[in-house]
């Protein structure tokens, strides 16, 4: 006969109803209590630190030995709950709600995030490039996936990148994974979790890697990825060999005489619209009947401003082409659809602001791999509750 679970102090308001979805994943009452208290703590205003001592409401450093702080430390480091199981349940809750259920109109965003961390004892730490800081520093890097459409966005999965020096054989170790390999594993995780999406979108770190693009094509998945502004291909002398050169021959004069540039109206969540311009690339390895298409998208074809100009590559076929009529072809996408899909990538930047600055993504005071993963999953649970 199954024993009745011990009651635990309820979380405030609707947070209790949300927390109850996870109760059966925690075998002990103190785990269920800590889960509620942890979510309460990270959901406090951004001005409040989300370190373990702050969550326990005790003095920094000195209060680390306080019983309440130690209880959180145990919950992350020594407890028995599985962060992957908690994440699976979180996604089930999101899929069950019509307001947050993912659809095929959304995208799967892949990105990486780096947090500065000091010392050498923390799992995954190392001197490496931290993209959000724009420099090399000592820290921990995570590769993440996020689902987004025009109305809703939330994190799906996260994998820490472990620098080569943590492995006995360095980069030759069979357990070592590059960030690019982790990206494909995250795509597989989304597919296995039955998360629908129109395409994978990511920045030029992934768009410039042939193995990533080949891996997505082998999986039968569409993608819209960024390329570097300097992206070029082999070409004979005196022929066009880069995206920038193609853009210069687009025939732009002004909005009334745009040449080959096509007006694309971008619609934003707050209701306002903007006129952007897109140029389909038919040169080098790119074209409507090729495996990949490329496009330059910008607010100003004359100046191609750095902050509002995208250089994109996609394997989605163009409407009306032979590729679009092939058996098992991916759904066709015109230039407006390509711009819409890549535009959804901006949600990952907003997600980082909320998870890092408001919910304390990087403020964990633990060292072990399992404790870090548990903290990240608790932050994702808090994000999804919002």
> Is the residue at 350 inside a domain?
no
> Is the residue at 358 inside a domain?
no
Residue 291's domain comprises 218-344
Q: Are residues 69 and 137 in the same domain?
A: no
CA distance linking residue 230 with residue 306, whole number of Å: 12
Buried b (16+ CB within 10 A) or exposed e, 361-382: bbbbbbeeebbbbbbbbbbbbb
Q: Are residues 176 and 272 in the same domain?
A: no
CA distance linking residue 276 with residue 64, whole number of Å: 53
- Tell me the average confidence (pLDDT) per consecutive run of 10 residues in the chain, 386 residues long: 72 95 95 96 86 86 85 94 98 97 97 89 93 88 95 95 95 96 98 98 97 98 97 89 92 95 91 94 94 97 95 97 92 97 90 77 92 96 94
> Is the residue at 94 inside a domain?
no
Last residue of some domain: 168, 185, 217? 217
Q: How many CA atoms does the CB half-sphere of 321 hold within 13 Å?
A: 20
Buried b (16+ CB within 10 A) or exposed e, 328-347: eebeebbbebbbbbbbbbeb
What pLDDT was estimated at residue 4?
Answer: 66
Q: Are residues 84 and 108 in the same domain?
A: no
What pLDDT was estimated at residue 261?
Answer: 97
Last residue of some domain: 217, 232, 261? 217
Q: Are residues 155 and 212 in the same domain?
A: yes
Q: How many domains does the chain have?
A: 3
CA distance linking residue 205 with residue 349, whole number of Å: 16
CA distance linking residue 247 with residue 288, whole number of Å: 17
Q: Are residues 195 and 223 in the same domain?
A: no
To 10 degrees, what angle do helices 179-192 and 210-218 make?
20
Q: Are residues 203 and 170 in the same domain?
A: yes
- Pairing label, strands 135-148, 107-116: antiparallel
CA distances from 91 to 66, 182, 317, 353 (A): 34, 20, 31, 21
Q: How many CA atoms does the CB half-sphere of 258 hold within 13 Å?
A: 16
**Which tokens belong to 317?**
């076929």
pTM over 0.85: yes
Residue 110 in contact with residue 143, Cβ under 8 Å?
yes
Q: Are residues 168 and 150 in the same domain?
A: yes
Beta strands, E only, 131-247: 135-148, 153-161, 199-202, 223-226
CA distance linking residue 161 with residue 186, whole number of Å: 12
What pLDDT was estimated at residue 1?
Answer: 45
Q: Are residues 124 and 200 in the same domain?
A: yes
**Which tokens belong to 311?**
């250089």
């Amino acid at each position: 006969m199954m024993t009745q679970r011990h009651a635990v102090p309820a979380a405030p308001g609707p947070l209790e109803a949300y927390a109850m979805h996870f109760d059966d994943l925690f075998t002990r009452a103190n785990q269920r209590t800590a889960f509620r208290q942890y979510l309460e703590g990270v959901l406090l205003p951004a001005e409040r630190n989300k370190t373990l001592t702050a969550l326990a409401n005790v003095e920094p450093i000195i209060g680390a030995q306080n019983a309440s702080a130690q209880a959180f430390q145990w919950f992350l480091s020594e407890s028995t709950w599985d962060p992957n199981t908690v994440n699976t349940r979180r996604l089930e809750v999101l899929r069950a709600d019509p307001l947050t259920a993912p659809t095929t109109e959304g995208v799967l965003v892949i990105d990486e995030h780096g947090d500065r961390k000091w010392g050498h004892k923390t799992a995954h730490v190392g001197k490496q490039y931290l993209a959000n800081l724009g420099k090399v520093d000592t820290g921990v890097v995570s590769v993440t996936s996020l689902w987004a459409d025009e109305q809703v966005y939330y994190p799906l999965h996260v994998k820490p990148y472990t620098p080569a020096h943590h492995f006995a054989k360095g980069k030759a170790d069979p357990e070592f994974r590059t960030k690019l390999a982790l990206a494909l594993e995250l795509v597989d995780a989304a597919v296995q979790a039955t998360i629908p999406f129109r395409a994978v979108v990511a920045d030029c770190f992934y768009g410039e890697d042939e193995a990533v693009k080949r891996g997505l094509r082998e999986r039968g998945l569409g993608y819209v990825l960024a390329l570097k502004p300097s992206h070029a291909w082999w070409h004979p002398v005196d022929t066009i060999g880069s995206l920038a050169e193609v853009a210069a021959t687009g025939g732009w004069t002004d909005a009334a005489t745009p040449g080959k540039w096509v007006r694309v109206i971008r619609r934003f969540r707050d209701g306002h619209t903007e006129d952007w311009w897109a140029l389909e690339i038919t040169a080098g390895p790119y074209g409507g009947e090729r495996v990949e298409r490329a496009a330059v998208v910008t607010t100003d074809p004359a100046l191609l401003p750095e902050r509002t100009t995208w250089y994109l590559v996609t394997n989605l076929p163009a409407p009306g082409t032979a590729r679009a009529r092939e058996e098992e072809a991916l759904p066709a996408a015109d230039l407006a659809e390509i711009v819409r899909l890549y535009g959804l990538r901006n949600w990952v930047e907003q997600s980082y602001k909320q998870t890092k600055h408001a919910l304390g993504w990087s403020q964990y005071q633990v060292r072990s791999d399992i404790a870090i993963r548990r903290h990240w999953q608790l932050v994702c649970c808090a994000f999804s509750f919002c």
